[in-house]
Amino acid sequence: MTDTEHLREQLKYLIHLQEIDDQLSDIEEDRGELPTELEKLQNQINRFDQLLVQTIRTIEQLNERRLSLTRGIEEARIRKRQYEDQLYTVTSNREYEALTKEIEELQKLLGKNSEEIQRVGQELQKKEDEQSRLEKHIHQLKIDFLKLKKDLEDVVQDVSEEEIRLKKMREETVTKIAVPIYNHYERIRKARSGKGIAFLKENGACGGCFNIVPPQRQVEIKTLHDFILCESCGRVLITMDLKD
């Protein structure tokens, strides 16, 4: 094998290695996002649960209010009836007027309480509708949550299998690359957002950092003269045609 052929082969392995590493970092990224989605849904359920608890508490308070109003009305009616009965046995005008005044007051109170009981009833109806809407919504969210959880577990399972396959492929590829070249690739990849190689662009720029590669270097890359590193970012420069 000539030096040029050897270099071409090495560069092709580097391209392959970079592709594997790109897929592996995609997997890493996806895995990071999956639990976040689940967490978002869980937070949503918690918020609606809290809302439901508040609504139920309000309903309890409204029921208590309605009960106390009902009692108040009953008591007022009894007292009013007693005063009305007493009207038949009064002996003086003053007593009559006092009783009549009491009856009027009670009548007013009854009117006020009846109005309020109606308002409380309407409010209760609204809150009860809200409660049933919330319960339905939470029920649906919990179904979605379980479904998403199941999906995520499946995805994690698939991804893990894919990851194992890629890592095995990576190991095999690495054994085919000269150690100093691989070490350089790894160092740059880790330092330069996951990319250890860069393709030479048509305009003569490094595809990684976009700095122009000196013309002499461009020629050397194209003629497979040697491993050429970008002077700016350190990535191994490769021509596009080696990609296929």
Q: By CB under 5 A, name the binding residues for Zn ion.
A: 206, 208-209, 230, 232-233
Minimum CB–partner distance for residue 214 and Zn ion (Å): 12
Minimum CB–partner distance for residue 176 and Zn ion (Å): 25
CA distances from 189 to 23, 183, 209, 212 (A): 14, 10, 13, 20
CB closer to Zn ion out of 73 and 209 = 209
CB closer to Zn ion out of 103 and 229 = 229
CB closer to Zn ion out of 134 and 233 = 233
Minimum CB–partner distance for residue 204 and Zn ion (Å): 12
Minimum CB–partner distance for residue 203 and Zn ion (Å): 13
CB closer to Zn ion out of 120 and 229 = 229
Cβ-based neighbour number of residue 144 at 10 Å: 13
Kindly give, in sequence order, each residue whose CB lies less than 8 Å from that of residue 200, ignoring residues fewer than 6 positions away: 206, 207, 213, 218, 221, 222, 237, 238, 239, 240
Minimum CB–partner distance for residue 238 and Zn ion (Å): 12
Helix axes of 93-175 and 3-87: crossing angle, nearest 10 degrees = 170
Minimum CB–partner distance for residue 11 and Zn ion (Å): 16
CB closer to Zn ion out of 24 and 209 = 209
CB closer to Zn ion out of 196 and 208 = 208
